[in-house]
Structure 1
């Protein structure tokens, strides 16, 4: 497995919705049905298209994509009471762990700004109150992901054709945040750092650094969506995910962003996993994840279709196709993930929303973020739970779902075939 399957790209094009591999199957069909037949907030508006901004002086700062092109971001200004509030969203989209896989990425929007276009803001990025009640009027920024190492690397390599490969995720992070501070984020009254998948892992990696950019009186928190990847053996007994991450860590030199305490005891590869990262994060953080995360089941637990005595292709495509034996194995995966969340569960300033939906990334989509058919825990949607936690409307905002298939509100996210 050379690269992570691309997580749902929150960029949705004017030509239509664009979701890359790794999104729940037939999510688009479900979304269209919801728009037409439900009275949910999904139907109230057209998404806002936000243009790309290239980082000023990117090449001089080293804030470049894999191919050396300038890094970029999308900024939609806040308004009204949200004019001094900032939400920074780190885009997901996989990792590259070899020269070959990074070379392949540089001919796509995940490795070059030459292929980036304007994107539509939906879900937690939406500027409509009925779709995004707590953050709709904030300054919202999507930082585009084009380094392949969760905005963490700082190195150079040589492509197979003799040209350079730039592993500059850390410099991209620093340059974009510096530029945003100069554009008014330095006067923020409150801020939230978040992301999806590989971008969610980046939010954990940079959470305390982000907190440190602001005066202590500013409310700064972090939200991780579908980024709690666990270091689990696959069904053949191999540690395929550890092998992938090991390649990323050493090829792209991510050591600088890893917790010092962890590095004193463990290998950098282990320190790149969220179970270790959260032990060192002091900033209040909310972990949103499925404990039957569809990407992790397909690529960490069962990266191949067939194993001795078991055929997993159908099960991986749709959890409803899994046999009772396979469901028991998935319950074991859930148990491991929940056990690694103990640090977050015991921290009073942290929040949890761990549902049993077979999905991956839930904040960038209206249907899962906030609608009448969103997943719910404790009778709260994801948006309501995150808002309650961020603004302190409720104490101890921590919900861990029961075993699949106990939660009927997950049905809207399940593939239908």
Structure 2
């Protein structure tokens, strides 16, 4: 039976499902765009309503558009200026910075990128002008005990390639699409450095989903931009996407990533050691390049990542008879055979994390929840009802790791062992 405390959340997800699932049915390409955009889009289109549902009074923070964006060539897919939300730190955190990179999937074809540019994921024209800051961005000490008074920035995502596209791949035939993710990253960093980031004492680069992948791609770049004596670390939430076969034996996600990398000219942003060893698009998978990251990294990821199960393990094309539909919407509906497949996915994730687990400066919180992105919402980041491993919330675990209070390698037991899990239910 579903956990009673999820009923309100389920209602919100049902509301979304009735609105958007029809769009996803048009095929794998739009499914990849719409579903990941929606799950990550909790931080944009449904962010205000969901955060207010779980946190009645979150701080609302204004959008700042990047100054001189056109002159810098740092523009969204549609040519509009990218943006960020900035909340100034105070007290003991006045000289510390936490940056959070928004997620929202990727686009791999001209058609999907053209669709995307008419949304907040491709144009600042559609972005909310104020967004609530909660979870890891909260200024409430009870909700965010370690970082509540730091300078905090939410970087909006409008390029479709995890802030890593390069302009030489743009079309010259009249198609107005700008693949400027890498330039957006560099220009926003320049602007933040000019308003105080350059003098930080402690800093964290974080992100959720596609933003979690961007965090890993740019982690060492971020470290290089800051003072050598600053404590700089990275936290990737639900950004550890696996290169695994789906239930039909194909690797649809590998093909999808290949198209993203090729279309948007991502190669220049990828780890050079990795691309010297294998096909460049494989270096878009964290399991291939995370071993080369020098800056300390903390991974937050559910072993039963909702988005990955729906789009990597069991994409629609692999399940033509919809045998998995109820299971993909609600893990409580999965039968014994399906649970065995999900346990296999968990095993694949733990195997892919094996080498990273041996890194002395790394940390992880791999819980057994059916979820996707757990740092941006108070209820999963740090609250009385938050998911826990060894009686520690995600916020407490990240804090212990960042401040070197203990080694943090939290790996949950297999589903359904953890009664504190905040399992998402759709439909």
User: Structure 2 length normalisation: TM-score?
Assistant: 0.88
Residue 11 of structure 1 is matched in structure 2 by 43
Measure, in 1, the Cα distance between the counterparts of 2:320 and 2:105: 29
2:71 pairs with 1:60: yes
CA contact (8 A) 2:241 2:286 kept: yes
Q: What do the CA deviations read for 1:182-215 (whole angstroms, capped 9, x no partner)?
A: 0011110000000000000000000000000112
SS in 2 for 1:286: strand
Distance 1:391 1:97, change over 3 A: same
Within a 5 Å distance, the mapping from 1:326-365 to structure 2 comes to: 326-365=338-377
Measure, in 2, the Cα distance between the counterparts of 1:415 and 1:310: 17
Structure (1 or 2) with the greater helix fraction: 2
Measure, in 1, the Cα distance between the counterparts of 2:47 and 2:287: 39
Measure, in 2, the Cα distance between the counterparts of 1:370 and 1:357: 15
Residue 213 of structure 1 is matched in structure 2 by 225
Measure, in 1, the Cα distance between the counterparts of 2:145 and 2:70: 38
Q: Which residue of the other structure, out of 91, 105, 111, is the alignment partner of 1:100? A: 111
Residue 20 of structure 2 is matched in structure 1 by none
User: Structure 1 length normalisation: TM-score?
Assistant: 0.90
Residue 380 of structure 2 is matched in structure 1 by 368
SS in 1 for 2:225: coil
Measure, in 2, the Cα distance between the counterparts of 1:223 and 1:16: 23
Residue 91 of structure 1 is matched in structure 2 by 102
2:308 pairs with 1:276: no
Cα RMSD of the aligned pairs, angstroms, is: 1.9
Residue 423 of structure 2 is matched in structure 1 by 413
CA contact (8 A) 1:305 1:312 kept: no
Within a 5 Å distance, the mapping from 1:125-144 to structure 2 comes to: 125-144=137-156
Within a 5 Å distance, the mapping from 1:297-336 to structure 2 comes to: 297-304=309-316, 307=319, 311-336=323-348
Q: What do the CA deviations read for 1:94-119 (whole angstroms, capped 9, x no partner)?
A: 10000000000000110001111211
CA contact (8 A) 1:147 1:168 kept: yes
Residue 259 (structure 1) shift: 1.2
> How many residue pairs are counted as aligned between the two chains?
393
Measure, in 2, the Cα distance between the counterparts of 1:306 and 1:248: 21
2:414 pairs with 1:403: yes
Measure, in 2, the Cα distance between the counterparts of 1:13 and 1:258: 30
SS in 2 for 1:227: coil
Q: What do the CA deviations read for 1:332-391 (whole angstroms, capped 9, x no partner)?
A: 000001111112210111101000100000001010000111000011000000000001
Distance 1:150 1:308, change over 3 A: closer
CA contact (8 A) 2:47 2:131 kept: no
Q: What do the CA deviations read for 1:32-65 (whole angstroms, capped 9, x no partner)?
A: 4xx5xxxxxx5xx611111111111101111100
Residue 166 of structure 2 is matched in structure 1 by 154
Residue 12 of structure 2 is matched in structure 1 by none
SS in 2 for 1:147: coil
Structure 1: segments with no counterpart, 5+ residues: 19-27, 36-41
Residue 25 of structure 1 is matched in structure 2 by none
Within a 5 Å distance, the mapping from 1:240-259 to structure 2 comes to: 240-259=252-271
CA contact (8 A) 1:53 1:73 kept: yes
Distance 1:236 1:306, change over 3 A: closer
Structure 2: segments with no counterpart, 5+ residues: 1-27
Measure, in 2, the Cα distance between the counterparts of 1:208 and 1:83: 24
Measure, in 2, the Cα distance between the counterparts of 1:271 and 1:88: 24
SS in 1 for 2:370: coil
CA contact (8 A) 1:99 1:158 kept: no
Q: Could you tell which deviates more after superposition, 299-308 or 350-359?
A: 299-308
Residue 89 of structure 2 is matched in structure 1 by 78
CA contact (8 A) 1:194 1:224 kept: yes
SS in 1 for 2:115: helix
Q: Which residue of the other structure, out of 272, 276, 279, is the alignment partner of 1:264? A: 276
Measure, in 1, the Cα distance between the counterparts of 2:121 and 2:328: 25
Distance 1:402 1:14, change over 3 A: closer
Measure, in 1, the Cα distance between the counterparts of 2:360 and 2:376: 26
SS in 1 for 2:80: coil
CA contact (8 A) 1:199 1:227 kept: yes
Measure, in 2, the Cα distance between the counterparts of 1:343 and 1:99: 37
